[in-house]
Structure 1
């Protein structure tokens, strides 16, 4: 058995010296791959139409509530690079506290006013996305993106592995950890080309010290699974998410509410340590 593993490791290492068109283990598509297939009717543009692969079965479409639709629309706008100048202007004028309640409506009115046209190149794109996505969305139970395989919490129940843990880097030193609840495909039906975007609806844990801790010496990250994020900010764009696992303390009764965060790396990613002589 050890001889077989040694031969596999040697052949895989040697494959890095082959030409890129030589079929080998290194360039074989991995089972967690997103396919990398580009739809010519919906080419990647800005944050939209990012390569990813959903599970083989879609559930019927469901309708987003008004609260969900507004939150998803605003989150997408705030993460779109072309919208950042408008966001900065809005915050400077009205403040940061009303972004989720007013920004999407203000943005739509602002970009449709010819007087406010500044970005001539992207003005039509900005007007198209200002209408927001269709309120009827597709729901998936699993999704492959950036070398990760994500499952919803419900889909992971009873499985040998759990792929519903997520984390995303916030501003400064703040990281947000949570559990994937729903995989949603948004479709923007106004304008051409077609624009689609997959977002995750997550249950987030409290990022404050009462909900998230980092050991000062060993840098072990712990989250309190009984404490949730208090703001209504459920959604995150799929391509920005990384995967984690949560491991309980089996013998520490005083830590029954705490879970250790184990970060994973994408399948197919190689990290080499360089030692200089």
Structure 2
């Protein structure tokens, strides 16, 4: 073929293609990205390194059991002490010893990754200006200022019932022993405390005040936790206010977790975009009443209708139907007047008695 081997718009790779997936047992080690800029090696000072490692340990589901165990030990050691402060200072060294002791006993699952996490990060990290995470392009704020596009706005869902909004300052890849690494976003968080009316939502339009800053000691988030947002000038409230614009990126779908999905498969939601015909095979219908034993009805035969004389009303009540059948046995023929008052035409209908042992017949 003429175009064989030629890149066209139909076969060109996606611009926002993710990095190759690497299966890891620890969730934090799955926070990866595809860098779009050259990585610059940066030495980590002790303060930044401690904050980064502390955040990684606190946001790893596999370390929750160790965090709870250490906090319990601290509480039992001294009931009057500041437990949270002691727990924060001592957990890293305690966790290191705990993991190595379990490894010596041979009772440690996913030992390589836990040992790497317990040993601490390397003193040298890599800094990037742009990357792609989950099919979305992120750019640091310093690089974003020189562009007409915007890719530095980030949002993280909070546990207090509202979102945290900020801007991406730096993309940092923290390395561990054994070729493991974690990609972190260092962010500047705007003070959007809704209690102080720093966030206003009217008609599903959210405006935030960007004049203040908070959580200066908690700058890091996992790259996989970030959701991209865009900030537009709020012409109504002034220069310190921005309208938050959330978008759905092309070829990116937000699938719910399995725990959030409804287990009832009998419910058909009207949000389904497929056009389909729902077919139900009844087979043999079993009619069960409280005082009558179950009777099988063959759906291949349609039941006969018993027509009453009163105003042409059809009654499906079983007791009334039985009385009508008894009256039909005493008469040779039931005449039903289907004509108007001015005519004398009548329509004779033969009524067959329905036995309880036989199928319904017409």
Provide the rounded CA distance (Å) in 1 between the counterparts of 2:67 and 2:10: 43
Provide the rounded CA distance (Å) in 2 between the counterparts of 1:119 and 1:171: 34
Distance 1:105 1:214, change over 3 A: farther
Gaps of 5+ in 2: 1-7, 75-82, 255-269, 276-362
TM-superposed deviation, 1:101: 3.3
**Does residue 31 of structure 1 match 2:7?**
no
Q: 1:262: which partner in 2?
A: 245
The alignment's TM-score, normalised by the length of structure 1, stands at 0.76
Which secondary structure state, in structure 2, belongs to the residue aligned with residue 57 of structure 1? coil
TM-superposed deviation, 1:183: 0.6
Aligned with residue 122 of structure 1, among 85, 110, 133: 110
The alignment's TM-score, normalised by the length of structure 2, stands at 0.60
Which secondary structure state, in structure 2, belongs to the residue aligned with residue 222 of structure 1? strand
Distance 1:159 1:134, change over 3 A: same
**Does residue 69 of structure 1 match 2:49?**
yes
Q: Deviations over 1:181-204 (max 9, x none)?
A: 011111102xx4x21111011101
Q: Aligned ranges for residues 51-130 of structure 1 at < 5 Å?
A: 51-59=32-40, 61-94=41-74, 95-114=83-102, 120-130=108-118
Distance 1:71 1:50, change over 3 A: closer
Are the aligned partners of 2:207 and 2:234 in contact in 1 as well (CA < 8 Å)? no
Q: Deviations over 1:219-273 (max 9, x none)?
A: 32222111111440011110111101111113x3x53211111122233125895
Which secondary structure state, in structure 2, belongs to the residue aligned with residue 255 of structure 1? coil
Q: Aligned ranges for residues 223-238 of structure 1 at < 5 Å?
A: 223-238=208-223
Aligned with residue 204 of structure 1, among 173, 180, 189: 189
Q: CA RMSD in A?
A: 3.0
Distance 1:185 1:256, change over 3 A: same
TM-superposed deviation, 1:98: 4.6
Which secondary structure state, in structure 2, belongs to the residue aligned with residue 113 of structure 1? helix
Q: Aligned ranges for residues 90-239 of structure 1 at < 5 Å?
A: 90-94=70-74, 95-114=83-102, 120-189=108-177, 192=178, 194-209=179-194, 210=196, 212-215=198-201, 217-239=202-224
Gaps of 5+ in 1: 1-23
Q: Which moved more, 1:235-244 or 1:48-57?
A: 48-57
Are the aligned partners of 2:229 and 2:246 in contact in 1 as well (CA < 8 Å)? yes
Q: 1:44: which partner in 2?
A: 24
TM-superposed deviation, 1:109: 2.7
Provide the rounded CA distance (Å) in 2 between the counterparts of 1:177 and 1:170: 10
* Count of paired positions: 243
Are the aligned partners of 1:211 and 1:228 in contact in 2 as well (CA < 8 Å)? no
TM-superposed deviation, 1:208: 1.8
TM-superposed deviation, 1:126: 1.9
Provide the rounded CA distance (Å) in 2 between the counterparts of 1:119 and 1:174: 41
